[in-house]
Structure formats: structure tokens, C-alpha cells
Amino acid sequence: MQFDVYMNPSELSRDAYPFLVDVQSKLIAKLSTRIVIPLGKLDNFGNAALPHLTPIVEYKGEEFLLLTPQISYVPNKVLKNPVGSLSHMRSLIIASLDFAVSGI
């Protein structure tokens, strides 16, 4: 579901990017993939913080960067059980996507 948070299924990148945020609209839920944005540990990416493009997100008591420039997709089957939601940050997430695409 849109804005649900999932554990990163990749063991290779999970240390730096522990979570993925599903940003795909339910209107295109029938696709075999989901559009996701990784959450990067602030300690690893602090110098990449750009308020509009890579906003700081607090999740489970820790600060992460929403790494919008690293937007990607994953197969539906790897996003099994959400571990939380960032739906309360919907406006911030959509604003970062708008900034990436339109610069505003």
C-alpha cells in the first residue's frame, strides 16, 4: 500500500538502506512491480541532505534520509509484510517527488 515501509530485501545494501518506502499509487496496483524510495541512515548520508529533495524522516526513533534521487522499483513478491507506514508524511514525500521532477 502507498507509503508503507518495508525491510530492504537486499542483504548487500540493507546496512546503508534498511528500509524501502512504497510510493506507488493503488491505481496501478496490478503491475508486477512497485515503485520505492530507499530510506538511508542519516549517519551514512548526512552530507546528502537537501531539504526538498532528500528530507530527513524519523522512523522508529531513528533519523533517515528519504533518498528520492534513488527512486527505483522492486518486484511485488519481495515486498511481503510492511513494517510500518509513512502515510502521515504523505505531503513531504510527494513534495520531494515533485521537486525531483519539476524543481518546485
Q: What is the CATH number of the domain that holds 35?
A: 2.30.30.110
| 46, pLDDT greater than 80 | no
Model confidence at 34, in pLDDT bands (50, 70, 90)? Answer: very high
- Cα 85 to its chain centre, rounded Å, is 10
| 85: number of Cβ within 10 Å | 16
Structural domain range at position 42 = 4-102
- Give me 85's grid cell: 507506514
Residues 70-87, mean pLDDT to the nearest whole number: 95
- Give me 75's grid cell: 518486484
| 50, pLDDT greater than 90 | no
The number of domains in the chain is 1
Structure confidence at residue 92 (pLDDT): 96
pLDDT in tens, 3-32: 999 999 999 999 999 999 999 999 998 999
